[in-house]
Chains A and B, each alone.
Chain A
Amino acid sequence: MPIQTMKGALRVLLVAAVFFAGVWSHASGVIDEFLFYLPDVQYLMGQHLWLTAVSGGLAIAAAIPLGIVLSRPSMARIAESAMQVLNVGTTIPTLAVLALSMSFLGIGTVPAIFGLFVATLLPIARNTYAGLKGVSPALMEAAAGIGMSPTQRLFKVELPNALYVIFAGIRTALTINVGTVPLAFLIGAGGLGELIFTGIALYDTVMMLAGAIPTALLAIIVDALIATTAFLVVPRGVNPSRA
């Protein structure tokens, strides 16, 4: 009972806090200031999503086949070292990757997409590889023993069973991607980073928040979208969230 009472109290407090925040922001004119940035937010959000979609799409398209190739038995020799390289790659800050790609590709959208692509590629490839390697040897033996060809084994047994882990990789990677796109502004690719960094430079909190809050919302929405896709796409028998 005490716990439920506390929960109830917290809920009341939360509603009150939101209400007073609304009252305050209306009274102080913050809402009007935000609305001032609305056209900018809309335009930059489009740019932002486009950067995420292109870099993320390319990364998924490249990383899954890469993970599949590395998980083949014939690649066993180099797979571990390749994964080590990818792991080291993950530790390089995305800002540094963006800076590097700028020094090769100049400024603009292309180097930004390339930098984001590299940062997004790694978690997906790693999870694809780990997911496929994690499929139980007994399953693989059963699949081989009943006469599936290597391709049939990959598509009917390995990928469906690794799908949940692969989706976890995509989810992590794209959420990070959305959160990283603001950095792309620094090499001239636009996105909501424009409001954030300009807001910081001008010491304009509302401008900065007008960039930051939509970025956070986007990340949450993307995360939820991928989680829902995983829920629907991964077969029920291997889907822990549907067990």
Chain B
Amino acid sequence: MIQLDSLTKVFDTPKGAVVAADHIDMEVPAGEICVLLGPSGCGKTTTLKMINRIIRPTSGKVYINGEDTTGMDTQDLRRGIGYVIQQIGLFPNMTIEENITVVPRLLGWDKARYKERAREMMAMIAMEPDAFLKRYPNELSGGQQQRIGVARALAADPPVMLMDEPFGAIDPINRAVIQDEFLKMQQELKKTIMFVSHDIDEAIKMGDRIAIFREGKLVQSSTPDDLLAAPRNAFVESFLGEDRALKRLNLVKVRDVVSDDIGCVRPDDTLEAALARIDDFGYQSSILMVNDRRQPVGIITRSVARTTKGYCRDHFLGIPASVNLDDDLRKVASLMFAHDTTWLPCVDDDGRVCGQITQRSMTRHLGSRYRALEGDVSPNATALTDTTPKE
């Protein structure tokens, strides 16, 4: 757990005093990632760097796991905090192994133990120990280097990590991969992490909480969903962007919105039966056809069912797409736009149909949060789960 109590930094510049961080009070609960977000010069990096005293606070206190760090020796404090920076900062004069084990060696671990630790860390970041440990940083790609940077920060197993735009210098494709890997690691490691970013999408992806900074002040600190649903003021709103409702699509899983009430037909059903079922369920355009294992194989459109005689197996059209329960709504929306459809079947990990998701249910789900918040319900209120209407 990291607690900041009235943390303040005033820089003396030739143009007078500049308040870079103004009485910041915040708390990162144990095991969570808190992303500090804001435009450049907003004080987020200053705040982060005051925690490990790269920047000395003018006033205020930092507590780590409940302990006041003010009286602690700077070196001891820093050795207990994992630190990852944007420029990576691997030591070019040291091998990968030496880089990873630098903190354990500072802490005086014996050789066998830190060598073993280096191999463990390499396994954790999914890099081959024998291929990389004896190499030098300049022989690695940027993405590999930052993986090593993260491994170095984690090597002594610190409970707390500070990450200053750690993935900022990596190309977008590799960045997404490293972010995913890091989140996977974090699920097991449960470190308490403070993470600086200027990228709203990264913040939404990585953060359990997001703290928005502006001109040295903490403007709003809440979960990504609350933040997007209820920005506190015009600045936060404009910083999040006009498309903040779309950004929320990232945060909601199909699982949360899916309606398990779906009507299907079998290949052996007649088109007459299909038409009756389309009417029963009140569908406007089509109905899903599944095989014996309840895997989606096609759709029967209303017009075909009405004008043709025969069995479904002879008159179905291919299904445009289906989504998994663990996909996020962003993917769903994208598929709907791509295939000009207002509903998609949802399948579980075995490919069996377990429900459907409609445009209407998505807008309902997102919209209900806004209405709940506008009605001055506490921001922690859970979203209304309504019965999803059919087309």
Q: A148-B75, A149-B75, A236-B136 are in contact. Are A143 and B91 (CB under 8 A)?
A: yes
Cα–Cα distance between A163 and B91 once the two chains are bound (Å): 14
A237 and B152 form a contact (CB under 8 A): no
User: Which one of A14-22, A123-131, A154-162, A166-174 is at the interface?
Assistant: A154-162
In the complex with contacts A146-B79, A146-B152, A141-B89 CB distance below 8 A: yes
When A147-B76, A147-B103, A148-B75 are in contact, do A142 and B91 touch as well, CB less than 8 Å?
A: yes
A231 → B minimal CB distance (Å): 15
Q: CB-CB < 8 A to B80: which residues of A?
A: 147
Given the contacts A147-B106, A152-B106, A237-B136, A142 and B78 also touching, CB distance less than 8 Å: no
A235 near B106: Cβ-Cβ < 8 Å: no
- Residue on B nearest A161 in the bound complex, by CB: B93
B87 engages A136 (CB within 8 Å): yes
- Chain A 222-237 per-residue mask, 1 if CB under 8 angstroms from chain B, else 0: 0000000000000111
B83 and A238: CB pair below 8 A?
no
A2→B247 CA distance, assembly (Å): 66
Q: Which residues of chain A are within 8 angstroms of B90 by Cβ–Cβ distance? A: 142
| Contact partner, B85, options A138, A156, A157, A238, Cβ 8 Å | A138
What 0/1 readout, one digit per residue, does chain B (77-106) give for beta carbons within 8 Å of chain A? 111100101011111111100000011001
Q: Which residues does chain B contribute within 8 Å of A201, judged by CB atoms?
A: none
Q: Is A144 located at the chain interface by the 8 A CB criterion?
A: yes
Closest-by-CB residue of A relative to B102 is A146
B83, B88, B95 — which one has the most chain A CB atoms within 10 A of its CB?
Answer: B83
Q: Which chain B residues lie closer than 8 Å to A73 at the CB level?
A: none
Given A145-B83, A146-B102; A237-B138 close (CB under 8 Å): yes
Q: A243 at the A/B interface (Cβ < 8 Å)?
A: yes
Q: Given A141-B54, A152-B106, A237-B136, decide whether A146 and B93 contact each other with a Cβ distance below 8 A.
A: no
Least CB distance from B8 to A in Å reads: 21
The yes or no answer to A139 lying at the interface (CB within 8 A) is yes
Do A145 and B93 touch across chains, with their CB atoms under 8 A apart?
A: no
B296 contacts the other chain (CB 8 A): no
Q: In the complex the two chains form, is A243's CB within 8 Å of B85's CB?
A: no
A selection of 20 A-B contacts at a CB cut-off of 8 Å is A136-B89, A142-B85, A143-B91, A145-B85, A145-B89, A145-B162, A146-B78, A146-B83, A146-B102, A146-B103, A146-B153, A147-B75, A147-B76, A147-B77, A156-B91, A156-B102, A157-B91, A160-B94, A161-B91, A236-B136
Nearest first, the 3 closest Cβ-Cβ pairs linking A and B are A142-B89, A237-B136, A138-B87
